[in-house]
């Protein structure tokens, strides 16, 4: 009688009984370690542990059982072997995909390769792998099948060459990737942001809907990627004034307003030019085409207020129903207690003051300039802050109705904060000469203004020092 260990099935079965648990434990630990490290390879290891290894063990056991009963029917053995072979193919494809594409360096050809090419390649490799598997395990003749598929492909290609040509053109465009999601395109009169790209078409958000542009159309024509450049995007806005407005004043106004836009690209300077007659054009750089709309909206809003403050006729309109003698007199009467003037002094003060309005976000008074007037807030609110590198504004205080900004006009010192309109703001402007005359007749007014100057300077310094920038800003705020 043959010894147990000399049986042909003994060692394969022993290898399965002993090796399977050990291998499963090892693969489980490896998968857990990779998962804790955030490595995508954990998915491949789990696939091998859950499916490939157990299927291999089943294949070995089924084969040994078939041999033990001396059966000529190897169907179950072939089925188990086929399942194992298919899972091996899937695991290998996942490993290749992980190695080549999942961990691809940004900007490399592997990263730029469209996913549809990866999917097509995966299908082709699975088909080839299954053909080899069936030919090896089942002895199937797959040559005829490939021949039939080849002939069918040629017939379909000739019949659908127009449609297939468009698809291929689109796929080649995807492979080149002249644009990505979020880029702004200008293609054949269609201008907008790319929101979706697939194998057939590009979806462009034009602001008035989604424009579906076939990839073949883009591949067969020229287009402009507005997001690819030196990082900035030029916005050009035509504006009109009146022929009576001095061109030099209009150009200076346009450049000054555009230079204060929050979307302006750092280090750039707006340019405004007269085009003849009442037409002008202002150009400036923003951070990208996505900010064109918001910057133009802000520019047009601010120009309306700035033109009326400067007495210029934007769009040919020189009227301003807000500035009337009656409203000016009411504004002077409202601030008379602060200026320590009586009701009898109000009419004499009206001709020397003026009313101004500012849009939300406009700078009412810049940092580091000597104010030319004291501005009383009649409506709205003004935020005082200290600008920091990167465009950050450290808030200091808030000036509301009845309060004022520009108090250092009295001492001819630069401002220690920037005053920005929180909402639409109406102010009464008291020029420096008028304020000097009031102060000479009212020494207590000078002391009160001096106290406000000191209080706001200290508040600005404390805010800067608290934020960690006190050393570099101390000298500037001391003014």
* Cβ–Cβ under 8 Å, residues 25 and 46: no
Last residue in a domain, options 299, 316, 333: 316
- pLDDT score at 475: 36
Identify whether residues 137 and 19 lie together within a single domain.
yes
pLDDT of amino acid 123: 80
**Strand pairing partners for 193?**
184, 205
Pairing of strands 404-405, 373-379: antiparallel
Residues 73 and 123 placed together within one structural domain of the fold: yes
Residue 260 inside a domain? The answer is yes
Q: Residue 126 in contact with residue 89, Cβ under 8 Å?
A: yes
**For each successive 10 residues of the chain (479 residues), what is the average pLDDT?**
62 80 89 87 88 86 67 70 86 83 68 66 80 77 65 57 60 72 80 80 84 79 74 88 94 95 90 94 88 90 94 89 90 91 88 94 91 94 83 82 90 89 94 90 87 85 73 39
Give CA separation, 79 vs 52, 56, 255, in Å.
14, 12, 79
For the domain that residue 198 is a member of, what is the CATH number?
Answer: 2.30.30.60
Question: What pLDDT was estimated at residue 96?
Answer: 83
The answer to whether residues 370 and 423 belong to one domain is yes
Tokens at residue 237, please? 């806005």
Q: Which of 296, 316, 336 delimits the end of a domain?
A: 316
289 with 311, same domain?
yes
**Residue for token digits 């399965």?**
16
Q: Which of 321, 344, 339 is nearest to 430 (CA)?
A: 339
Run of H or E residues at 419:
strand 418-421
Q: What does each C-alpha distance from 478 to 384, 407, 415, 470, 475 come to in angstroms? A: 16, 15, 10, 11, 5
- Residues 258, 357, single domain; the answer is no
In sequence order, the β-bridge partners of residue 190 are 187
pLDDT at res. 59: 83
Structural domain of residue 184, as residue ranges?
A: 178-225
* Cβ-Cβ contacts under 8 Å for 257 (sequence gap 6 or more): 299, 302, 303, 306
Q: What is the pLDDT of residue 474?
A: 39
State residue 73's pLDDT score. Answer: 56
Q: What is the CATH number of the domain that holds 366?
A: 2.60.120.10
Instruction: Assess if residue 12 is contained within a domain.
Output: yes
Q: What is the pLDDT of residue 374?
A: 93
SS3 240: strand
Query: Do 266 and 360 belong together in one domain?
Result: no
Q: How many CA atoms lie within 13 A of 364 on its CB side?
A: 34
Model pLDDT, residue 17: 80
What pLDDT is recorded for position 455?
87
- 329 with 460, same domain? yes
Residue 171 lies inside a defined structural domain of this protein? no
Q: What is the DSSP letter of 51?
A: I
% the chain with pLDDT above 90:
28
Position 239 scores a pLDDT of 95
pLDDT value of residue 220? 73
172 is a domain residue: no
pLDDT (0 to 100) of residue 291: 84
* Same domain? 244 vs 205: no
The answer to the question of residue 341 being in a domain is: yes
Q: Based on the domain organization, do 312 and 347 belong to the same domain?
A: no
What is the C-alpha radius of gyration for the chain, rounded to an integer number of angstroms? 39
Pairing outcome for strands 393-399 and 363-365: unpaired
Domain at 254, CATH number: 3.30.70.1130
Q: Is 337 a domain residue?
A: yes
| Assigned token pair, 294 | 């918001």
Task: Establish if 1 belongs to a structural domain.
Answer: no
Based on the fold, state whether residues 59 and 28 are members of the same structural domain.
yes
Q: What's the total number of domains in the chain? A: 4
Whether residue 262 is found in the same domain as residue 203: no
- The Cα 310–Cα 250 span in angstroms is 9
For residue 457, how many C-alpha atoms fall within 13 Å in the half-sphere facing its CB? Answer: 19
Answer for the pair 425, 364: CB distance below 8 angstroms, yes or no: yes
- Inside any domain, residue 42: yes
Model pLDDT, residue 391: 63
> Are 204 and 192 a contacting pair, CB within 8 Å?
yes
Report the pLDDT value the prediction gives residue 107, as an integer from 0 to 100.
Answer: 62
pLDDT for 297 equals: 93
Closest CA to 268 of 297, 237, 225, 235: 235
Burial environment of residue 416 by CB neighbours within 10 A (0 to 12, 13 to 18, 19 or more) = buried
Quote the CA–CA distance of 349 and 303 in Å, as a whole number.
Answer: 29
Q: Of 273, 299, 316, at which residue does a domain stop? A: 316
What's residue 460's pLDDT?
Answer: 81
Let me know whether 277 and 357 are in one domain. no
């Amino acid at each position: 009688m043959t010894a147990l260990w000399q049986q042909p099935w003994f060692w394969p079965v022993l290898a399965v009984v002993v090796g399977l648990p050990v291998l499963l434990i090892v693969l489980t630990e490896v998968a857990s370690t990779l998962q804790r490290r955030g490595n995508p390879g954990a998915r491949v290891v789990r696939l091998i542990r859950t499916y490939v290894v157990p299927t291999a063990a089943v294949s070995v056991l089924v084969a040994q059982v078939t041999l033990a009963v001396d059966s000529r029917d190897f169907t179950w053995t072939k089925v188990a072997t086929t399942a194992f072979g298919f899972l091996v193919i899937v695991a290998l494809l996942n490993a290749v995909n992980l190695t080549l594409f999942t961990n691809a360096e940004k900007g490399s050809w592997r990263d730029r390769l469209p996913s549809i090419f990866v999917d097509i390649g995966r299908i082709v490799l699975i088909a080839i792998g299954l053909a080899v598997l069936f030919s090896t395990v089942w002895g199937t003749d797959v040559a005829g099948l490939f021949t039939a598929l080849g002939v069918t492909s040629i017939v379909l290609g000739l019949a659908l060459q127009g449609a297939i040509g468009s698809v291929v053109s689109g796929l080649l465009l995807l492979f080149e990737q002249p644009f990505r999601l979020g880029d702004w395109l200008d293609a054949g009169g269609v201008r907008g942001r790319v929101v979706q790209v697939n194998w057939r078409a590009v979806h462009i958000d034009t602001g008035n809907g989604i424009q579906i542009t076939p990839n073949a159309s883009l591949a067969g024509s020229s287009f402009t990627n507005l997001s690819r450049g030196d990082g900035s995007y030029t916005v050009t806005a035509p504006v009109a004034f009146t022929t009576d407005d001095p061109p030099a004043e209009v150009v200076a106004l346009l450049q000054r307003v555009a230079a204060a836009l929050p979307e302006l690209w750092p280090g750039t300077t707006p340019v405004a030019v007269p085009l003849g007659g009442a037409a002008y054009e202002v150009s400036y750089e923003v951070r990208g085409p996505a900010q064109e709309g918001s910057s133009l909206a802000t520019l047009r809003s601010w120009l309306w207020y700035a033109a009326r403050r400067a007495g210029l006729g934007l769009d040919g309109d020189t009227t301003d129903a807000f500035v009337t003698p009656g409203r000016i007199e009411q504004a002077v009467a409202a601030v008379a207690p602060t200026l320590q003037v009586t009701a009898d002094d109000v009419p004499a003060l009206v001709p020397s003051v003026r009313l101004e309005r500012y849009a939300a976000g406009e700078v009412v008074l810049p940092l580091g300039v000597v104010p030319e007037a004291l501005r009383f807030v009649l409506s709205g609110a003004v935020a005082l802050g200290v600008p920091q590198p990167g465009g950050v504004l450290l808030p200091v205080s808030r000036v509301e109705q009845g309060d004022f900004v520009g108090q250092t006009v009295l001492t001819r010192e630069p401002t220690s904060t920037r005053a920005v309109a929180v909402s639409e703001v109406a102010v009464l402007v008291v020029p420096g000469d008028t304020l000097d005359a009031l102060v000479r007749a009212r020494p207590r007014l000078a002391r009160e203004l001096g106290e406000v100057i000191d209080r706001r300077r200290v508040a600005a310094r404390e805010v800067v020092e608290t934020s960690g920038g006190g050393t570099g800003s101390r000298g500037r705020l001391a003014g």
